[in-house]
Amino acid sequence: MSESQPHLLDTKIPPLVVLLLHMLLSWGLAQVAGYVIVAESLKVGGAVVLSAIGIVVALAGVWAFRRHNTSVDPVHIDKASTLVTGGVYHFTRNPMYVGFLCLLIAQNWYLGSPAGALAVLSFIAYMTRFQIKPEERFLLKTYGQAYRDFLSTTRRWL
């Protein structure tokens, strides 16, 4: 099946659910594969900093959408009414997903789980294939050259 053709999973599972499933996977991998012993202050401090970054970046994306009166519903991408390219969208086309990624990395940092990197990679792969690429197809069809220009100046993740 071509990536340009819709897939059964395209934009069907809310990204927050995808994040929670990957957090569960990450926790399970830590239980099975073990963890690295790290000073508690480093574990907690790193997890707090990464989580704070993730929350701020994700909320900046939501705030930008709200300011432009467009939908933040990632399952019903056809509800989008405006192409948002300013604010945090100067740095990433997907700040909400980058924020979620930071939360997953924060969890792995706290768990001290090198195996958790598999969950991180799986999250990136899933989100890119089943959420971001379908959104990109829709936005390209809807906003044409304006979205092509955005694609050429702003990275998908970071």
In a domain, 32, yes or no: no
pTM, full prediction: 0.94
Specify the pLDDT at position 4: 64
Read off the pLDDT of residues 18-49 as tens digits, 9 standing for 90 and up: 999 999 999 999 999 999 999 999 999 999 99
Cα angle 105-66-148, degrees, rounded to a multiple of 5: 75
How far is residue 69's CA from residue 76's CA, in Å, rounded to a whole number? 15
Residue 51 near residue 23 (C-beta atoms within 8 A): no
Read off the pLDDT of residues 87-101 as tens digits, 9 standing for 90 and up: 999 999 999 999 999
Specify the pLDDT at position 97: 98
Specify the pLDDT at position 58: 98
In a domain, 122, yes or no: yes
| CA 136, chain centre distance (Å) | 14
In a domain, 33, yes or no: no
In a domain, 17, yes or no: no
In a domain, 23, yes or no: no
How far is residue 57's CA from residue 55's CA, in Å, rounded to a whole number? 6
Number of domains in the chain: 1
- Which domain range does residue 132 map to? 38-153
DSSP assignment string, 39-52: -HHHHHHHHHHHHH
DSSP, collapsed to helix, strand or coil, labels residue 156 as: coil
In a domain, 56, yes or no: yes
DSSP, collapsed to helix, strand or coil, labels residue 91 as: coil
Judged against a pLDDT cut of 70, whether residue 2 lies above it is answered with: no
Burial 21-31 (b: 16+ CB within 10 A, else e): ebbebbbebbe
Confidence band, pLDDT 50/70/90 cuts, at residue 65: very high
Residue 88 near residue 53 (C-beta atoms within 8 A): no
Specify the pLDDT at position 1: 42
In a domain, 13, yes or no: no
